Amino acid sequence: MNIHDPLSASARAGASAPILDISGLAVAYRGGAGWTQVVRGVELSLDPGRCLVLLGESGSGKSVTLRAIVGLLREEGAKVEGRVRVGGQDVTSLTSAELLRMRGGRVGFIFQEPMTALDPVFRIGHQIAETIVQHRGVSWREAMAKARELFDLVQIPSAERRLQAYPNELSGGLRQRAMIAMAMSCEPELLLADEPTTALDATVQIQVLLLLREIQKERGTAMVFVTHDLGVAAEIADEVAVMYAGRIVEHGDAGQVLLNPAHPYTRALTNCVVQGSYRDRRLGELTGSPPDVSRLPPGCSFAPRCISRADDCLRTEPARRDMAPGHDVACLHAGSLSASRPD
Amino acid sequence: MTVDFSRMQAPLPLIEDHGGPQQPLLIASGLRKEFRLSDGLFGGRTVVHAVDDLSLTVGKGETVGIVGESGCGKSTAARLIAGITPADDGEIIFDGESFWTPRARIDGERRRAIQMVFQDSASSLNPRMTLTETLAFGPRAHGVSTEKARAYARDLLGAVGLPPARFAERYPIQLSGGQRQRVNIARALAIRPRLLILDEPVSALDKSVEAQVLNLLVDLRDQLGLSYLFISHDLNVVRYIADRVVVMYLGQIVEEASSADIFAAPRHPYTRALFASKPSPDPRKRVSAPPLTGDPPDPVNPPSGCRFRTRCPIAESVCAASRPPLAAMDVGGTGHRAACWAALPGSGHSLSPRVPASVLGSVQ
Ligand SMILES: Nc1ncnc2c1ncn2[C@@H]1O[C@H](COP(=O)(O)OP(=O)(O)OP(=O)(O)O)[C@@H](O)[C@H]1O
Ligand SMILES: Nc1ncnc2c1ncn2[C@@H]1O[C@H](COP(=O)(O)OP(=O)(O)OP(=O)(O)O)[C@@H](O)[C@H]1O
Ligand code: SF4
Ligand code: SF4
Ligand SMILES: [Mg+2]
Ligand SMILES: [Mg+2]
């Protein structure tokens, strides 16, 4: 039942201190009537050099979780509880100046929409060099040379000319690669990537994924990688965590979660995927509407849409428990559901 | 989520059909767009050939998918067709009538015939408008009363899976990426276009919402008789939704065929590499080397002859000498066309198919 995954077994053996350690993370935004809890107790730990892929429902809190890691939520007026440690350092206790130093230094960030991170009025090369000067204190010339190197690293053609371009003069794909270059500029220990390859065509996407895998291996960079594409997840993940309604509902090695999903939500998700020739067939959909995080039902949040729901699901909020070594699931009945999903 | 649009009270009338069912909805021909970069290394003389002699047709009720290299000009082509960016050259015939030429631009009612959902969903919504205001804006601009437009806006929100009770008064920043994209689709639909150009409409969505949006688009196509020009990097999605697929490389179309034909037997080496690069959802089947290496060429200085030749695994001297035409690949007239010397009989490429002279005559 358990598929041996040679890609991740070795890396897990190391007993080094985690580069990222999140416990009890809860995030609320001020909504119409009081606070809305959008992240509700995320527990996550990641060892150096490992790549964790975050999958999950749109609106389940993936991007918010990433922003919490670099302390960006404070500026958004969110209420944040719980603990986030990066390399042993408690992010919640850092001053704004320390946070700025951490972002783009120790931690690199690749955003879902590159235009939110790139300033439209400055040339790309200028923006990258600026980051390098700020964090490394090197000269402008050295920084520009480094920026040029980074453009080669992420395979931006005609690097010299593209460094001079303004963000809106680049195609979506080139902008995304420029973002990756910027995130790598200070050789971070932890790279946070929010859907970094959705703007890329398949031939470039696979190159970028291989590139990130290489960076991860050679520099020991740990990664948290958000994607909706199960193919991308399969290509890059050591571990996969699945979020639903502000919580992690399943976590395990890539092989365990993608090939043997145990949570009914993960199973439904893997069944919605368009593959091969599906023409003229209605795609599988999750029944019911996405959860309203401001009014979650008691018990399991997935219960209103779950095909395996039983009576106790409406009373007890399931805690995460181990299905197999390294594979845990927040579902009361996961163990008794059939071992592999129907194909 | 199944939507019944017939029950919704659309405040704007359908745009009347003029040409009849045989008349393609859209005929774009010879589209060309160059971007002149204001300054840079080469002192104001840099020209990007973003779209170079592009022609395509969309039938009534048809969905045409566009795939291709990032930066090959898909979004630019879409903006040219929608009349958002002025073209340098070319012509658009919409339902048998001239829609625009570089000199004459779109007028009143036809302005709503073609709508576009933009690639960057975040920056294309006005951050200071609530979702109701956002969706009511278009109809109001076309003369619908505020009250009617707002009521329809709420219906539309429900139709794209955002219950109005919870979402009507929200601002774009209060949405996740996927929620924003559904607002973009609803906004484009609000003024009842006939052709919807969707630029990466589902790339920000999770798989369950993606399935909802794709099912929604199929419902809309059936109920409202819409046609789509659907740009996406996700080949599985294109295969699902598109009747016909157009493959672009560096500003030009390199292959074009029915969805079934192209996925069964891609003829252009770039198309083949593209399909081979699609990652498998099985972590045991990882790719170890990219099917296509090398840098995409600079659109400022495109290679001579075939633009793919700098990365093509089977390039030969004929490929540098002249540009391969987009030629029919079959005698039966299924409309499979590719621009590759290796696929063209008698081209001088060593892999060029050998065809009896009689058949060759009917191909040319
Ligand atoms: N600044 C904000 N103010 C108020 N609510 C917010 C804010 N940012 C996010 N939210 C809400 O928090 C929830 C989680 O959002 P988040 O962006 O983390 O989702 P996500 O999992 O990344 O989704 P997607 O896959 O669509 O990007 C959503 O319901 C969203 O509406
Ligand atoms: N406003 C502009 N000024 C200068 N160059 C531009 C402009 N818009 C696009 N370009 C250039 O034109 C080419 C085509 O860009 P376009 O955005 O159409 O590509 P695309 O196929 O949509 O790419 P992607 O898949 O990455 O979104 C690119 O080389 C891009 O850098
Ligand atoms: S706890 Fe119950 S409702 Fe929740 S996922 Fe498991 S079976 Fe479904
Ligand atoms: S024309 Fe030549 S270079 Fe171009 S795709 Fe065909 S074989 Fe390759
Ligand atoms: Mg997100
Ligand atoms: Mg584009």
pLDDT at residue B28 is higher than 90: yes
Smallest CA separation from ligand 1 atom 28, residue: A59
pLDDT at residue A14 is higher than 50: no
* Mutational pocket test of ligand 2: of B75, B81, B124, the residue with most ligand atoms within 8 Å of the beta carbon: B75
pLDDT at residue B51 is higher than 70: yes
Smallest CA separation from ligand 2 atom 14, residue: B73
pLDDT at residue A7 is higher than 60: no
Query: What is the per-residue pLDDT for B274?
Result: 92
Contact B209 A112 (CB under 8 A): no
Token digits for A170? 């680049």
Q: pLDDT confidence of B5, banded at 50, 70, 90?
A: low
Contact A173 B70 (CB under 8 A): yes
pLDDT at residue B358 is higher than 60: no
B172 touches chain A (CB under 8 A): no
Distance spanning both ends of chain A, measured CA to CA: 15
What is the B9 CA–ligand 6 centroid distance (Å)?
Answer: 34
Query: What is the per-residue pLDDT for A86?
Result: 95
**SS3 track for chain B:** CCCCHHHCCCCCCCCCCCCCCCCCCEEEEEEEEEEEECCCCCCCCEEEEEEEEEEEEECCCCEEEEEECCCCCHHHHHHHHHCCCCCCEEEEEECCEEEECCCCCCCCHHHHCEEEECCCCCCCCCCCCCHHHHHHHHHHHCCCCHHHHHHHHHHHHHHCCCCHHHHCCCCHHHCCHHHHHHHHHHHHHCCCCCEEEEECCCCCCCHHHHHHHHHHHHHHHHHHCCEEEEECCCHHHHHHHCCEEEEEECCEEEEEEEHHHHHHCCCCHHHHHHHHCCCCCCCCCCCCCCCCCCCCCCCCCCCCCCCCCCCCCCCCHHHHHCCCCCEECCCCCCCCEECCHHHCCCCCCCCCCCCCHHHHHHHC
Residues with Cβ < 8 Å from A31, sequence gap 6 or more? A294
CA distance A111 to chain B (A): 11
pLDDT in tens, A231-274: 999 999 999 999 999 999 999 999 999 999 999 999 988 876 66
pLDDT at residue B207 is higher than 80: no
Instruction: Report the share of chain B in percent with pLDDT over 70.
Output: 88
pLDDT in tens, B162-176: 889 989 999 988 887
Contact B70 A172 (CB under 8 A): yes
The response to whether residue B357 sits with its C-beta less than 6 Å from ligand 1 reads no
pLDDT at residue A18 is higher than 60: yes
Over chain B, what is the mean pLDDT?
A: 86
- For A243, which residue in chain B has the nearest alpha carbon? B206
Query: What is the per-residue pLDDT for B66?
Result: 97
CA distance A75 to chain B (A): 14
Over chain A, what is the mean pLDDT?
A: 85
Q: pLDDT confidence of A11, banded at 50, 70, 90?
A: very low
Edge-to-edge, what's the strand order for the sheet holding A321-324? A107-110, A190-194, A222-226, A51-56, A239-244, A247-253, A327-329, A321-324
The response to whether residue B206 sits with its C-beta less than 6 Å from ligand 1 reads yes
Give which of A212, A219, A214, A243 is closest to A25, Cα–Cα. A243
CA distance B240 to chain A (A): 5
Q: pLDDT confidence of B206, banded at 50, 70, 90?
A: confident
The segment with the largest mean pLDDT, out of A11-20, A277-286, B22-31, B91-100, is: B22-31
Q: Which of A161, A254, A285 lies at the smallest CB-CB distance from B40?
A: A161
Query: What is the per-residue pLDDT for A338?
Result: 53
Neighbour count for residue B21 (Cβ, 10 Å): 8
pLDDT in tens, A127-145: 999 989 988 889 999 999 9
pLDDT in tens, A294-308: 788 889 999 988 989
Contact B210 A170 (CB under 8 A): no
Ligand 4 cavity residues, CB under 6 Å: B 268-269, 306, 308-309, 312, 314-315, 319, 324, 340-342
The response to whether residue B177 sits with its C-beta less than 6 Å from ligand 1 reads yes
Least confident of A88-92, A194-198, B317-321: A194-198
* Mutational pocket test of ligand 2: of A113, A123, A171, A205, the residue with most ligand atoms within 8 Å of the beta carbon: A171
What is the A177 CA–ligand 2 centroid distance (Å)?
Answer: 14
Smallest CA separation from ligand 2 atom 29, residue: B71
Smallest CA separation from ligand 1 atom 10, residue: B174
Report the residue of B34, B72, B182, B206 to disrupt the A interface, i.e. the one with the largest count of A CBs within 10 Å: B206
Query: What is the per-residue pLDDT for A277?
Result: 53
Q: Which listed ligand is nearest to B341 at the C-alpha?
A: 4
pLDDT at residue A186 is higher than 70: yes
Smallest CA separation from ligand 1 atom 2, residue: B174
Q: Specify the higher pLDDT residue, B161 or B271.
A: B271
The response to whether residue B251 sits with its C-beta less than 6 Å from ligand 2 reads no
Least confident of A75-84, A90-99, B87-96, B109-118: B109-118
What atom in ligand 3 is closest to the CA of residue A337? Answer: 7
CA atoms within 13 A on the CB side of A19: 20
Which SS3 state, helix, strand or coil, does residue A119 take?
coil
Name every chain B residue with its beta carbon within 8 A of the beta carbon of A164.
40-41
